[in-house]
């Protein structure tokens, strides 16, 4: 069987205003490195991934100062107004890969095993997939004022994680189509869903959290410290 070729994109053009920090959250110190360095580490180290495109804001003055910026797998691309614009920019910067894994810059606890899971799925089924965790808590729907309207059935509900992996051409066409339609795309799978193409969700690790609020940093540091000690 012919192995597929893989690249990764790390959109890192966001500001992360909910972190209440002067620095963008991807550059905050975490377990001896910055958040973005942890987010990149397993993508760079994985033998199946030949190139990693980091998408930066025009005024980013931090990334090039990091040691990881010199890594031979890394290419830089300019960010856009929205996430989908940045991912498209990253797709255009890919040199030769057939498949791409898009990962959040603020998810520093990615593991090698979760990357393996996505790649094994693609090698077996030749179909895009995302990582997710099944909803465990009781889900409530409210109105704009915080009044509960009802309980939502949590069966078959998932929290979408990253990486999200698709054919480079398929994702590019899906994102371009979504932009033309003016649809709000919150993750890459949203664009694939809009296009009508099939997409799988695979059970990823629950510790693959996204750093969004200040309290997330302590949890991420705990997970990273535990993994480094193993």
pLDDT at 23: 87
Burial of 142 (0-12, 13-18, 19+ CB in 10 A): exposed
* All residues at 6 or more sequence positions from 19 whose CB lies less than 8 Å from its CB, including other chains: 25, 28, 211, 212, 213, 214
Rounded distance between C-alpha atoms, residue 204 and residue 161, angstroms: 8
pLDDT at 22: 74
H/E element holding 225? helix 214-229
pLDDT at 2: 53
Q: Which of 108, 104, 161 is nearest to 132 (CA)?
A: 161
Per-residue CA distances from 93 to 3, 4, 71, 165 (Å): 22, 18, 16, 16
User: The whole model's pTM is what?
Assistant: 0.94
pLDDT at 3: 78
Exposure string over 164-177, b if 16+ CB within 10 A, otherwise e: bbbbbebbbbbbee
pLDDT at 18: 55
Rounded distance between C-alpha atoms, residue 27 and residue 19, angstroms: 11
Query: For the chain, which residues score pLDDT lower than 70?
Result: 1-2, 15-21, 228-230
DSSP track, 161-189: EEEEEEEHHHHHHHHHHHHHHT---SSHH
For 105-130, the pLDDT digits (tens) are 999 999 999 999 999 999 999 999 99
For 173-206, the pLDDT digits (tens) are 999 999 999 998 999 999 999 999 999 999 999 9
pLDDT at 226: 84
- Domains recognised in the chain with CATH numbers: 6-229 (3.90.550.10)
Rounded distance between C-alpha atoms, residue 123 and residue 115, angstroms: 12
């Amino acid at each position: 069987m012919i192995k597929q070729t893989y690249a990764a994109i790390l959109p890192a053009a966001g500001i992360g205003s909910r972190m209440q920090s002067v620095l963008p959250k991807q550059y905050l110190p975490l377990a001896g490195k910055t958040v973005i360095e942890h987010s990149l580490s397993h993508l760079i180290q994985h033998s199946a991934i030949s190139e990693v495109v980091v998408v930066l804001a025009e005024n980013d003055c931090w990334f090039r100062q990091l040691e990881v910026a010199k890594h031979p797998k890394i290419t830089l691309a300019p960010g856009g107004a929205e996430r989908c614009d940045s991912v498209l920019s990253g797709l255009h910067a890919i040199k030769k890969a057939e498949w791409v894994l898009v990962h959040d810059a603020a998810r520093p606890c990615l593991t090698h095993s979760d990357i393996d899971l996505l790649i094994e799925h693609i090698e077996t089924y030749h179909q895009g997939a995302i990582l997710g965790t099944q909803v465990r808590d009781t889900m409530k729907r409210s109105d704009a004022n915080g009044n509960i309207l009802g309980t939502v059935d949590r069966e078959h509900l998932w929290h979408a994680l990253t990486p999200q992996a698709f054919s480079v051409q398929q994702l590019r066409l899906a994102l371009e189509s979504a932009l033309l339609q003016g649809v709000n795309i919150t993750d890459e799978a949203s664009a694939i869903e809009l296009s009508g193409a099939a997409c799988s969700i695979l059970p990823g690790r629950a510790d693959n959290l996204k750093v969004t609020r200040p309290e997330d940093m302590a949890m991420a540091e705990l997970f990273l410290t535990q993994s480094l000690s193993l």
